[in-house]
Structure 1
Amino acid sequence: MRVYEDLRQIHVNTLAPRAHYIPYDTLQKALEGKKEHSAYYHLLNGTWDFHYDSRDIDCPEQIKDWDQVTVPSCWQSTGHEKPYYTNVNYPYPVDPPYVPDDNPVGVYRRFITVTKEQAAMDTTLVFEGVASCLELFVNGAYVGFSTVSHSSSEFSVSLHEGKNEILVKVYKWCVGSYLEDQDFFRCNGIFRDVYLLTRPAGHVHDVQVGFDEKGIYCDLPYDIYTPQGQPADLTQLVLWNTEKPYLYTVVIRQAGEFIPVKVGLRSQCVSEKGELLINGVSVKLKGVNHHDSHPVNGYVMSYEDMKTDLLKMKELNINTIRTSHYPPDPVFLELCDELGFYVVDEADLETHGFTGSIRTERYYDERPIWPCHDPAWREAFVDRARRLVERDKNHTCVIMWSLGNESNFGLNHVAMSDFVRERQKRIPGLFRLIHYERACEGVGIHHNERKKDSDAVDVVSRMYPSTWYMEQYLEYTGDKRPFFLCEYCHAMGNGPGDLMDYWETFERYPNMIGGCIWEWADHVALDGEGRLGYGGDFGEETHDGNFCCDGLVFHDRSFKAGSLEAKYCYQPLRTDWKEGVLTLHNRNDFTSFEEYDFQWNVTVDGKVIKEGDFVLDTKPHEKSQINLTLPNADCSYGAYLNIYMKDRNGHEVAFTQHRLQDASPLEAGTGAAAVTVEGEYARITGKGFVYLFNLHYGWLEKLDETLKSPLKLTVWKAPTDNDIANKGRWYEEKYHQVHSKVYEARVEGNCIRIKGSLCAVAREKFLEYEVAYTFLADGRIDIQLDGAFDNRHYFLPRLGFECKVKEQEFSYFGYGPGEAYIDMHHGARMGLYESNADEQYVPYMMPQEHGNHYNTKMLQIGGLTFVSPQGFECNVSRYTAEELTRKNHGYELEKDEYTNLRIDYKVSGLGSNSCGPELRERYRMMDDHVYFAFSILRR
């Protein structure tokens, strides 16, 4: 049996797992913490010789044709293999522990020069991340073997003075690959740092620094320093939290080495009510799942890449990260300690592909086909928990140890939990919670709400339940453990659309401690022409399409509307406005409002008419009230009170808005236009205008030079990624092939009344309607739609009017400046905005519905102004819904000759059904009775 297929040899000659640290040769260097300055640390990143072969190489020393690659890197980024995306299915036959005989291998070689002094020291060669496994040779001699891609592998090596050869064989697949079936582009190679540690004899192997709110616990000699590098006064301890991440530096002195460990002091426990208490305070986890992922470099993330991600998370008020689904780069956790994040640290374990390996199998089947039930896999499972805990045990940011992801639940998970609990007993200080989402009964993500989770976990965890399910679980089980959503609000494409619903639920229950949105950033890769691609764009045999494009931010980490929705839901401010009193709720856990600047203004029809500022000293979890005397002002579209909360650097942390006055009704029109019937057309004339109305089709056909197509009643929109289930039903209903039937067209003075229905091909009618068009002498048109929807049909994508217009520039009063929908508008703001059709395009990887503006009161484009005190939804685009529906990539889209304009009664919401619950009924266009009134004004 090949070593990489042998469950009994998952590691050969590796050193025992230990905490991640770098030893230094002086105290000053240890306090500075720049590892490249340590005399004991020798980074081997850079240019290596490289040879790729499609199958194993028995004699790597005989290789003649060497390429060169940069380490760290992935084969799929250096052109040696194509990118490969699959979510659930394994990219090879499921025959554990075996992998395909044609198992590609990459051979790395580097020569290093070692001094006499270094050769005399104890030398460790460290690989922080290699996929999927490695064999190591030094100076032609076999050293050892190791699996577990996202954990460190360390070898004690003997080097001689002068030139030494390091040769590494990396296999694409191994038995461990069955435990690494995560949802991302599959990459291979040496993708994290490689370095040598040359250390004095007698050095310590592992360091363990326990801590809690009372102090620091370590069995080795140590000193404690402040962040400024001064000896710490331990009589006045400063505690760490995510809002103020104060870190001490513990410097351990041993055998001529100085080992720094950054430590934040804090407590952690669970209250009797199931609250998660940090430093005695009940906290909510406002989280996101994070992959180590880069659009060009694959698994490789630089220090700058990781810090950029974390700083952008801070901008969005995120305080928690789940490291899906493996331990992250060690630097990532150092940054989480430093910048202030709670971390659910996850073992490198997922066996999701066994779900579909036997199609008749239930997800929770206990047959040995699942590795979690097979005793032969037990050590491999426990090994991954061991490597997680040992490497990261000194990190303050870690609040939970996660046993993996989507790997069923069995005795091997219980063994992992037993190991973690026993190991934590030997770490003084706080006790982290054990997490695993599958430790429950049920099928798939639809768990049985009447069954409690296994005692092997300390947290009840779910992914993608409805808020109804969340409440049902607590009601039926009475479980008082913290309830956590490790994944929720799937942020694929345009969305997520139901985030506020979850947070209203979290805040009602003490033991609902929050959750982590899936996921941080879109996963993409470059094709041969330098274009961004997803699954299937690279010739994969099995793939999951654009399911990897599911980020809260785009691949380049730019924000989208869903990002701002999360920022709003996670923000530390809520406000209420009633009868001149503004109540401000401090949702921070540790920071007073005295550390922020508050500003306010009143806008009328988008223009500021009064503004001011104020200061507060509201304590965390408390509220304050202030009286504001606001001016009375008439408005056409709306008057609003806007509150801004900024940090001392001027960054807007939070924003709230309260409507003071809604849109005013339009004044009654004066004078009627003349309407004359000419065959199947009605000719409408007045002061300087001529309109044409087609009585046969029941639509307005000509206004002025602005209108380039009839104003039609339609229902189709390009399905979003979160319409994954709705799309099939919409096609079954044939909503993409809808026709309007006019039963009656009556001219009553200056009013044209159309009675008709909407009906899809081969389907019964789903909407009966009457539309009244009233034409006034000044060119104004008042339109009233009365309709009855037959709810035996599936709900509609949308309902409203659409046409083509000549102009691209427009202005509107409504939610903006970005897109906004009925269930995703909290991060937008009611105001007056100017834009153009090109600026409305949102570059989702899969073309789809975008650019909508919810609750619009006015839209002006060309010579026309659309107004409705009732409010409408508008969309201005260079692309037709049909074009967005047909094409699979943004670069395939072809712009329309004209601008496509929608004036909608209602657009069905976004939801998160690409991997979550169905769209709530209140967000669906399924209203039994439809009444929609708006007016078109001439400029």
Structure 2
Amino acid sequence: MGEIIMKQRKYERADFIQENCEPQRAYYIPYDSLEKALEGNRFDSKFYKSLNGEWNFSYYQRDIDVPMVIEKWDKLTVPSNWQLCGYGRPGYTNLNYPHPIDPPYVPDDNPCGVYMREMELSEEECAGEVYMVFEGVSSCFELYINDEYVGYSQVSHMQSELNISRHVKSGINKVLVKVWQWCSGSYLEDQDFFRLSGIFRDVYVLVRPKNHVKDIEVSTSGTEINCNYEFSLYHDKDKIEGEFEPVLWNAEKPYLYTVIVEQAGEFIPIKVGLRNISVSEKRELLINGVPVKLKGVNHHDTHPQNGYVLSDEDIRHDLLQMKRLNINTIRTSHYPPTPEFLNMCDELGFYVVDEADLETHGFCTRYGGVGYDMESGEWLCQNPDWEKAYLDRVVRMVERDKNHPCIIMWSMGNESGFGDNHKAMINWTKDRKDGRIVHYEGAWLGGDEGVTVISRMYPSPQDIKDNFVNKEGETRPFFLCEYSHAMGNGPGDLHDYWELVYDNPSFIGGCIWEWADHTVIEDGKCLYGGDFGEETHDGNFCCDGLVFPDRTFKAGSLEAKAVYQGMMTEYKDGELTIHNRYSFTNLSEYKLSWALDVDGVITDKGELNVEVLPLESVTVKLNPNVPDSCEMGTYLNIYMESADDIIASCQHKLAVPVSPFKPVCADKVVIADSEGNSIDSDKLPEIIYISAGESSVEFNTHYGCIQKLERDGRLIIDGKAELSVWRAPTDNDRHIKDTWGLYENNWSSRNYNRLYNKIDNCEISDNVIIVTGRLAGVSRAPFFNYQTEYTFGNDGSIGVKLVGDVRENAFFLPRLGFEYRLPKNDETFTYYGKGPYENYIDMCHHVMVGMYESTPSNEYVPYIKPQEHGNHAETSMLNILGMNIKSKSGFNFAVSQYSSQELSTKRHSYELVEDEHTIVRIDYGVSGIGSASCGPGLNEKYQLDDKHVEMEFMICG
């Protein structure tokens, strides 16, 4: 019997990473004049030839089908991902590999794209050294020039540079690039994102003189600048000579110098920021000797139309939006970004955790779900055959990005276990001694060996307090590389984390997961995992951004802005204390002001002309004209403004007595049956009628609730206003919705979404109807015993008082309150409460109590997967479509054009069908949002778990 020999393709070898590629160097673009170098626009350099644009393209489902000669070509724009251009289909998976886990082998049917174009070079250009640079190709490629093989490279998110000098000629040159969807490197690129392929970053040619500069390394030590070449120093376009007083770089004031290296007719600019990174004895992160907190976010390269492709304009927009949200730190999850991204971070001012293109999270699932079973010895980080590939990924990142002042940490990758290959990466990075922190969260699997920061993802605030910030004998700072998973409506726990950050010097901050929702837009519809026919996918888990796909803000975005703001205040007994949480900025650089809000009207205001030095506090006298009483509330608002935005705000409730409601008069209230006869309380009809002045009410005694209200001939309430506890599950409810109830699963635990309302008694006494009842989920025991008292007044007002008790062992409720159905309308309504954006008990620092206007359609929040939205807490008054609700104790409300069932059962927002009514919820309470989509469960203090309930409000006439 003959021996079977398996052929291993070169891209399936763990140790075959590059062939005929240049050693990685620092990123730079050479220019042909000093003026152009100082301007820094790479497209103006005569040495730089962009190959972006239209290429010929041919796609093959299997690489073995690629013919020797391709006769038919399509057109494809570079950069792009071919799945978004009609070749193959996108696929989304979080940790599951999209192919079998059999390293280093990939499927035999390996899709392949072949790119071809021509480029023209002059005789003078060919006389020098000619390089072709690829900034990003997924997953690997071969380059051919004029039908001659040049070289090979992998590592999708890293620059590859090939010397093509001996392959080119003066005149027209043929460029052909063969790109494979998968290679051995794909096992190291199992990140949580859409799996896309192709040339997705810039491609260009550098034409350089024979004796050109190779690598440039610029380092700073305190106030010194060192370079491995002679250089000139500039600020803006002014040359600096002799001794000078240096200005240091930090993310608040990103002061940059330009090093110019001149050689062989080239002028090479390197932006330099003078800054020093250190750790104090208190485990604080110090930038230039000053404690700094990292107010961060994780950033993927994602675009709803263009996939991995971000233009320079896209990048700048992302960064400016982050600035508007008071974000100062970016973790480049989970791969190095484009060079232009880092250039802009240097310029605009961000601290960057630069992360190697490395993740093998899917190994947790290789036997169906084994977790981080490091004792198995089967992880690639433990396999010496893969050490070269691991080291390559950190070496190329560090060598490319070493000159950027914005980078304060090198990260060894993400969720890849921990083994000797990681130790080799860590040791190599530390041996460079460039002063930066060495990060790898997965080092916890090895006792945090080697790393210079303790990093974790998704611990609860209590876990952090108990185990990390005051750990005995620990000298390294503590950092959350991922926290507060921002999926859908949320996150709702940011403030709790930052109370700990500010209270503990060793807790240096963290990065919210993550910046933007990942989605693919087709025909105007936002699609996610499972919408492309994938064999394996993770649904909408990719829709987990702090901002929407188009980078517009959500309530969660604004909550981050509020929690990350640089000013906090306290007010007591006529004294305002202002805390400056910036490390390098005096608050006098901003406009500070105050306003007194009484019942939604500004009655007094002024400016605060005060200087508050960085990280210090100042107390000033402030005595606004506070009234003796008010109807709803009195608040002192403090604002900090830049030229075009309010960048910080604080609100303080003042202890001003609130006027009570006027007594209800009932001598003209008529309660009768359908024929106008008086009611026999011992034998109530199902429907009774209450009239007072211009108001008439239909009350259903069988269901124990108002079912119709008309006032002045206008229909106000049009349907049974019953008690309910359900809300459409948010993404952050994903681990408790099975307990609360699911429409798609009759075996869910509590069935809060399918209620029986058992009315035990309904009695009438004068102008009062008292209903006694119980709520129970279908097939479950009652969990709520209640009594509701309806009081009807001469002026048409209706007092509603709910008193009840929740069963002691009942699971906490999504919400509890009344759901009113009003005639369909999109008229403006007003409310006095927290606004103008949606808010919840644990996500409310971005809003203030005040008087606001809205419409039912404006209250809708278009989360990609429909879910609960639009709540407003601490409300005292709501006037909507003729129904004016007031309460001294306050309530939550939400207005929606969609039923909770509709929001619960549809997978996409574009599938929603509006209800025939406008739905208004008036709630005693609503559970918080949290971030349990990938994080700790909802904190008990934000769970609606009250065992005794009292709620009172008035529907005014």
TM-score band by shorter chain is over 0.9
What SS does the corresponding residue of 1:914 show, helix, strand or coil? helix
Listed as ranges, the matches of 1:74-93 within 5 Å are 74-93=81-100
Match of 2:334 among 300, 325, 339: 325
Tell me by how many angstroms 1:724 deviates.
0.5
Tell me what 2:597 maps to.
603
CA distance in 2, matches of 1:274, 1:789: 47
Tell me what 1:500 maps to.
495
What SS does the corresponding residue of 1:703 show, helix, strand or coil? strand
Tell me what 2:440 maps to.
436
What SS does the corresponding residue of 2:462 show, helix, strand or coil? helix
- Deviation per residue, 1:323-354 (Å, 9 max, x gap): 00000011000000000000000000000111
Tell me what 2:388 maps to.
379
CA contact (8 A) 1:855 1:871 kept: yes
Tell me by how many angstroms 1:291 deviates.
0.6
CA distance in 2, matches of 1:669, 1:229: 78
CA contact (8 A) 2:365 2:371 kept: no
Match of 2:692 among 681, 686, 701: 686
Tell me by how many angstroms 1:437 deviates.
0.7
Tell me by how many angstroms 1:57 deviates.
4.8
CA distance in 2, matches of 1:34, 1:683: 77
Tell me by how many angstroms 1:479 deviates.
2.4
CA distance in 1, matches of 2:599, 2:437: 51
Tell me what 2:465 maps to.
471
CA contact (8 A) 1:716 1:736 kept: yes
Tell me by how many angstroms 1:257 deviates.
1.7
Structure 1 residue runs of 4 or more that deviate by more than 6 Å after TM superposition: none
Tell me by how many angstroms 1:683 deviates.
3.1
Q: Which amino acid aligns with 2:923?
A: D
CA contact (8 A) 2:374 2:418 kept: no
Tell me what 1:864 maps to.
883
Q: Which amino acid aligns with 1:432?
A: R
What SS does the corresponding residue of 1:621 show, helix, strand or coil? coil
Listed as ranges, the matches of 1:215-294 within 5 Å are 215-231=224-240, 234-294=243-303
Match of 1:549 among 538, 543, 552: 543
Q: Which amino acid aligns with 2:700?
A: N
CA distance in 1, matches of 2:658, 2:19: 73
Listed as ranges, the matches of 1:428-827 within 5 Å are 431-441=435-445, 453-474=447-468, 475=470, 478-527=473-522, 529-633=523-627, 634-647=629-642, 649-660=643-654, 661=656, 663-672=658-667, 673-676=669-672, 677=679, 678-704=684-710, 705-731=715-741, 732-806=749-823, 807-809=825-827, 810-827=829-846
Match of 1:161 among 139, 153, 170: 170
Q: Is 1:909 aligned with 2:928?
A: yes
Tell me what 1:885 maps to.
904
CA contact (8 A) 1:76 1:298 kept: no
CA distance in 1, matches of 2:207, 2:237: 29
Tell me by how many angstroms 1:43 deviates.
1.1
Alpha-carbon distance change, 480 to 833 in structure 1, aligned in 2, over 3 angstroms: same
- Deviation per residue, 1:343-377 (Å, 9 max, x gap): 00000000011111112523242323311111111
Alpha-carbon distance change, 479 to 734 in structure 1, aligned in 2, over 3 angstroms: same
TM-score, normalised to structure 1, is 0.96
Q: Is 1:30 aligned with 2:34?
A: no
Tell me what 2:951 maps to.
932
Tell me by how many angstroms 1:662 deviates.
6.6
CA contact (8 A) 2:131 2:207 kept: yes
CA distance in 1, matches of 2:222, 2:765: 80
Tell me what 1:399 maps to.
408
Tell me by how many angstroms 1:477 deviates.
5.0
Tell me what 1:449 maps to.
none
Q: Where do 5+ consecutive residues of structure 2 fail to align?
A: 1-7, 673-678, 742-748
Tell me by how many angstroms 1:625 deviates.
1.9
CA contact (8 A) 2:708 2:716 kept: no
What SS does the corresponding residue of 1:7 show, helix, strand or coil? coil
- Deviation per residue, 1:417-459 (Å, 9 max, x gap): 011111x23x5xxx10010111114xxxxxxxxxx84231111
Q: Which amino acid aligns with 2:359?
A: E
CA contact (8 A) 1:366 1:373 kept: no
Q: Is 1:308 aligned with 2:317?
A: yes
- Deviation per residue, 1:50-97 (Å, 9 max, x gap): 111111157665000111111111102211122211111111111110
What SS does the corresponding residue of 1:8 show, helix, strand or coil? coil
Moved more, 861-870 or 294-303: 861-870
Tell me what 1:448 maps to.
none
CA distance in 1, matches of 2:304, 2:657: 45
Listed as ranges, the matches of 1:43-442 within 5 Å are 43-57=50-64, 61-158=68-165, 159-231=168-240, 234-359=243-368, 361-422=370-431, 424-425=432-433, 427=434, 431-441=435-445
CA distance in 2, matches of 1:51, 1:102: 16
Tell me what 1:447 maps to.
none
Tell me by how many angstroms 1:698 deviates.
1.2
CA contact (8 A) 1:671 1:776 kept: yes
CA distance in 2, matches of 1:681, 1:2: 80
What SS does the corresponding residue of 1:36 show, helix, strand or coil? helix
Alpha-carbon distance change, 771 to 278 in structure 1, aligned in 2, over 3 angstroms: same
Alpha-carbon distance change, 368 to 138 in structure 1, aligned in 2, over 3 angstroms: farther
What SS does the corresponding residue of 2:125 show, helix, strand or coil? helix
CA distance in 2, matches of 1:385, 1:9: 16
Q: Which amino acid aligns with 1:848?
A: Q
CA contact (8 A) 1:637 1:662 kept: no
TM-score, normalised to structure 2, is 0.95
Alpha-carbon distance change, 320 to 233 in structure 1, aligned in 2, over 3 angstroms: farther
CA contact (8 A) 1:61 1:140 kept: no
CA distance in 1, matches of 2:193, 2:609: 46
CA distance in 1, matches of 2:287, 2:450: 22
Tell me by how many angstroms 1:255 deviates.
2.6
What SS does the corresponding residue of 1:543 show, helix, strand or coil? coil
- Deviation per residue, 1:461-483 (Å, 9 max, x gap): 11111001101113555523111
Alpha-carbon distance change, 876 to 526 in structure 1, aligned in 2, over 3 angstroms: same
Tell me by how many angstroms 1:708 deviates.
0.4
Q: Is 1:832 aligned with 2:851?
A: yes
CA distance in 2, matches of 1:742, 1:361: 51
CA distance in 1, matches of 2:232, 2:808: 72
CA distance in 2, matches of 1:401, 1:841: 41
CA distance in 1, matches of 2:475, 2:386: 32
CA contact (8 A) 1:791 1:926 kept: no
Alpha-carbon distance change, 720 to 106 in structure 1, aligned in 2, over 3 angstroms: same
Q: Which amino acid aligns with 1:42?
A: K
What SS does the corresponding residue of 1:439 show, helix, strand or coil? helix
CA distance in 1, matches of 2:235, 2:367: 57
Task: State percent identity of aligned pairs.
Answer: 52
